[in-house]
Amino acid sequence: MFSKPWCLLAVGFIVWSSTGALSAQALKDQRTPLPDGVTVEGNLQADTAAKSACGEDPPERAEQPALSDADRKAFQSAADYSREGKGTAVLVMRAGEIIFEDYATGVTATTPHLLASGTKSFSGIMAQCAVEDGLFQLDDKVSDTITEWKTDPRKKEITIRQLLTLTSGLAGGSIGRVPTYADAIQGTAVADPGRRFIYGPIPYQSFGELMRRKLSPKAETVEGYLKRKILDPIGLKVGLWRKGPDGNPQLPSGLSLTPREWAKFGELIRLKGKWGDKQVVSAEHLAECFQGTTANPGYGLTFWLNKKAAEKSPDQPAEGENEGLQPKPLGGKVGPVDLVLAAGALGQRCYVIPSLDLVVIRQGFSRRTDFEDREFLTRLLSSSKYAKPE
The residue among 116, 51, 128 whose CA lies nearest residue 284 is: 128
Exposure on the CB side of residue 313, measured as CA atoms within 13 A:
10
* Residue ranges with strand state E in the chain: 87-94, 97-103, 113-114, 240-241, 255-257, 274-275, 278-279, 304-305, 340-344, 348-353, 358-364
Rounded to whole angstroms, the Cα distance separating 358 from 236 reads 18
339-300-179-321 Cα dihedral, nearest 10 degrees? 80
Who's near 367: CB < 8 A, 6+ residues apart? 30, 32, 33, 86, 346
What integer pLDDT is reported at residue 369 of this predicted model? Answer: 87
Give the span between the Cα atoms of 80 and 95, in whole angstroms. 24
Is the distance from CB of 240 to CB of 112 less than 8 angstroms?
yes
Residue 283 buriedness (CB in 10 A; 0-12 / 13-18 / 19+): exposed
DSSP state of 26: H
Q: Specify the length of the chain in residues.
A: 390
Residue 39 CB contacts under 8 Å (≥ 6 apart), including other chains = 176
pLDDT of residue 387: 55
DSSP label of 76:
H
User: Is the torsion defined by CA of 212, 287, 121, 358 positive or negative?
Assistant: positive
Distance CA 166, CA 173 (A): 12
Q: What is the pLDDT along the chain (390 residues), one digit of tens a residue?
A: 333 333 333 333 333 333 333 333 333 333 334 444 444 444 444 454 453 333 333 444 455 567 889 999 999 999 999 999 999 999 999 999 999 999 999 999 999 999 999 999 999 999 999 999 999 999 999 999 999 999 999 999 999 999 999 999 999 997 678 999 999 999 999 999 999 999 999 999 999 999 999 999 999 999 999 999 999 999 999 999 999 999 999 999 999 999 999 999 999 999 999 999 999 999 999 999 999 999 999 999 999 999 877 555 433 344 444 444 567 778 778 889 999 999 999 999 999 999 999 999 999 999 888 999 999 999 999 985 665 544
Phi/psi class of residue 268: alpha, beta or left (left: φ > 0; alpha: ψ in -120 to 50)? alpha
Residue 260 corresponds to which amino acid? Answer: R
116-327 CATH choice from 3.40.710.10, 2.30.30.830, 3.40.980.10, 3.30.450.40: 3.40.710.10
How far apart, in whole angstroms, are the C-alpha atoms of residue 165 and residue 299? Answer: 7
Q: What is the pLDDT of residue 385?
A: 60
C-alpha span between 364 and 102 (Å, rounded): 12
| pLDDT given for residue 147 in this prediction | 98
- The Cα 379–Cα 81 span in angstroms is 8
Type of residue at 346 = L
Contact criterion met (CB below 8 Å) for 239 and 111: no
- Report the C-alpha gap between 256 and 241 in whole angstroms: 6
Q: Is 31 exposed, middle or buried (0-12, 13-18, 19+ CB in 10 A)?
A: exposed
